[in-house]
């Protein structure tokens, strides 16, 4: 392991670290990660300055407010149809004589911002549409604070081909935890990465007990407040499968040395086991402020970025092995991660379609992973190597989405027959 190249995320080697205030571009500014990042920036104006924001375009009033409070140069929306409403929202936010920001619009607008002049790009976009901005930021030589795990999952070889060692700093709570724990030792001394999972709302249930769970039950996460797709991914533990693939790509650790353990309290965000038997855990109360601050500020820490524990109060921390029969998603993710090529993109795209079908009442909960497994099996062993292109990824995703829709509709029809 010591002779392998430096990993994409390396706490010992931070790409282009600078002192003083950092210029940031925030992609996905109106989402959960984006809004929390902006709150951190506003509380630390001596450390950070935001130069540009991007959003999908569904919350233009919030985007305009963010632009005014941060005094950004440019805002971007993915939907051109949102531009008139955004112009009107900016007009209301900015006073007479004030210069509103430039507006970019279209599916490539966020990608254009990702390559603009700044120190760090925070990619908080949800879904595989974040791949192009990720590649643009890396190609432009920006430090990439990566919250968009899908871009690494679906485009792993493409990202690895562009990223310099240490250029990516992860923002997921689990990978930010691994990142910090890895700082305590040498790569050659790492025995295992341990990724923690809350277990979601259905921890302890058998597969048969999951057959009739409802949308409302799946969205009732016991620990985290997240969007519907991510919350369902937590219920199926697909999110843990994606994080296993991501850990493999970020830290250059083989899949057989990445373990998942269920930790319902979500206090320990992940752990690193070293060859001397020591295990280092990174722990905070459940809050994304800490991982965001690591992504934007490392190697410096941002004071009071997240709450700390009150050690005067008793608490219980539990750990359980993963039930692979009730939750087969992690094993399937290891499989597609080992296959490489376009297999992870197929896994991710099929899952997104199946989650949408479940949320719409068109697919049973267990049908999500049954359908994703069938799509992955039909895809077979993909071509791998350095020849993978963005077009290959998009083609594989399109096929997987269509096939997942077909199979989920078939499964629903058979269940109702």
Using CB atoms within 10 A of its CB, is residue 310 exposed (0-12), middle (13-18) or buried (19+)? exposed
Asked whether residue 221 is marked as a ligand-binding residue, the answer is: yes
N- to C-terminal Cα separation, the chain: 54
Asked whether residue 172 is marked as a ligand-binding residue, the answer is: yes
Strands, E assignment, 238-397: 258-262, 268-274, 279-283, 320-321
Asked whether residue 28 is marked as a ligand-binding residue, the answer is: no
Q: ∠ CA 387-378-410 to the nearest 5 degrees?
A: 135
Asked whether residue 139 is marked as a ligand-binding residue, the answer is: no
CA distance 273 to 182: 9
Asked whether residue 227 is marked as a ligand-binding residue, the answer is: yes
CA distance 248 to 385: 16
SS3 content of the chain, % helix, strand, coil (to 5): 45, 15, 40
Asked whether residue 150 is marked as a ligand-binding residue, the answer is: yes
**H or E stretch including 76?**
strand 74-77
Asked whether residue 148 is marked as a ligand-binding residue, the answer is: yes
Asked whether residue 234 is marked as a ligand-binding residue, the answer is: yes
CA distance 119 to 288: 22
DSSP 170: E
For residue 291, give the nearest of 281, 306, 304 by alpha carbon.
306
127 preceded by a cis bond (ω within 30 of 0): no
Angle between helices 365-379 and 329-339 (to 10 degrees): 20
Asked whether residue 414 is marked as a ligand-binding residue, the answer is: no
Asked whether residue 56 is marked as a ligand-binding residue, the answer is: yes
Asked whether residue 31 is marked as a ligand-binding residue, the answer is: yes
Measure CA 326 to chain center.
Answer: 24
Question: Which region, left, alpha or beta, applies to residue 31 given φ > 0 means left and ψ of -120 to 50 means alpha?
Answer: beta
Asked whether residue 174 is marked as a ligand-binding residue, the answer is: yes
For residue 130, give the nearest of 221, 47, 10, 246 by alpha carbon.
246
Asked whether residue 33 is marked as a ligand-binding residue, the answer is: yes
Other CB atoms within 10 A of residue 394 CB: 17
**Between β-strands 168-170 and 258-262, what pairing exists: parallel, antiparallel or unpaired?**
unpaired
Measure CA 338 to chain center.
Answer: 20
Asked whether residue 387 is marked as a ligand-binding residue, the answer is: no
The torsion defined by the Cα of 323, 324, 327 and 330, in degrees rounded to 10, comes to 120
Tokens of 176: 């930010």
Residues that constitute the known binding site for Mn(2+): 172, 174, 243
Residues that constitute the known binding site for NADPH: 30-33, 56, 148, 150, 227
Residues that constitute the known binding site for 1-deoxy-D-xylulose 5-phosphate: 149, 173-174, 198, 221, 234, 239-240, 243
Residues that constitute the known binding site: 30-33, 56, 148-150, 172-174, 198, 221, 227, 234, 239-240, 243
């Amino acid at each position: 392991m010591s002779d392998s190249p430096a990993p994409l995320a390396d706490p010992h080697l931070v790409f282009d670290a600078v002192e003083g205030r950092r210029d940031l571009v925030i992609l996905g500014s109106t989402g959960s990660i984006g809004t929390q990042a902006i709150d951190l920036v506003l509380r630390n104006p001596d450390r950070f300055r935001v130069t540009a924001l991007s959003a999908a375009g569904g919350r233009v009033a919030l985007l305009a407010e963010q632009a005014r409070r941060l005094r950004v140069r440019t805002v971007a929306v993915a939907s051109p149809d949102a531009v008139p409403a955004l112009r009107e929202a900016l007009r209301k936010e900015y006073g007479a004589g004030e210069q509103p920001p430039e507006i970019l619009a279209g599916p490539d607008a966020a990608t254009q911002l990702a390559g603009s002049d700044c120190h760090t790009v925070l990619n908080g976009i949800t879904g595989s549409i974040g791949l192009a901005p990720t590649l643009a930021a890396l190609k432009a030589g920006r430090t990439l604070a990566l919250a968009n795990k899908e871009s690494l999952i679906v485009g792993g070889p493409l990202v690895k081909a562009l990223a310099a060692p240490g250029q990516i700093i992860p923002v997921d709570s689990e990978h930010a935890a691994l990142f910090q724990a890895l700082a305590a030792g040498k790569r050659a001394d790492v025995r295992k990465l341990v990724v923690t999972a809350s277990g979601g709302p259905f921890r302890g249930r058998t597969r048969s007990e999951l057959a009739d769970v409802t949308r409302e039950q799946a969205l009732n996460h016991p620990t985290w407040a997240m969007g519907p797709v991510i919350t369902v991914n937590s219920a199926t533990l697909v999110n843990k499968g994606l994080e296993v693939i991501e850990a493999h790509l970020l830290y250059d650790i083989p899949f057989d040395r990445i373990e998942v353990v269920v930790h319902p309290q979500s206090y320990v965000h992940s752990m690193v086991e070293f060859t001397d038997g020591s295990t280092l855990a990174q722990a905070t109360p459940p809050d994304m402020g800490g991982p965001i601050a690591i992504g934007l500020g490392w190697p410096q820490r941002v004071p009071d970025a997240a709450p700390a524990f009150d050690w005067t109060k008793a608490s219980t921390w539990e750990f359980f092995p993963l039930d692979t029969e009730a939750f087969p998603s992690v094993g399937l993710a290891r499989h597609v991660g080992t296959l490489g090529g376009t297999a992870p993109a197929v896994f991710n795209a099929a899952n997104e379609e199946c989650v949408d079908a479940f949320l719409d009442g068109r697919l049973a909960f267990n049908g999500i992973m049954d359908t994703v497994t069938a799509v992955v099996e039909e895809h077979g062993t993909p071509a791998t190597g350095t020849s993978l292109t963005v077009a290959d990824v998009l083609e594989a995703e399109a096929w997987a989405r269509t096939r997942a829709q077909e199979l989920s509709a078939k499964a629903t029809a058979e269940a109702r027959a």
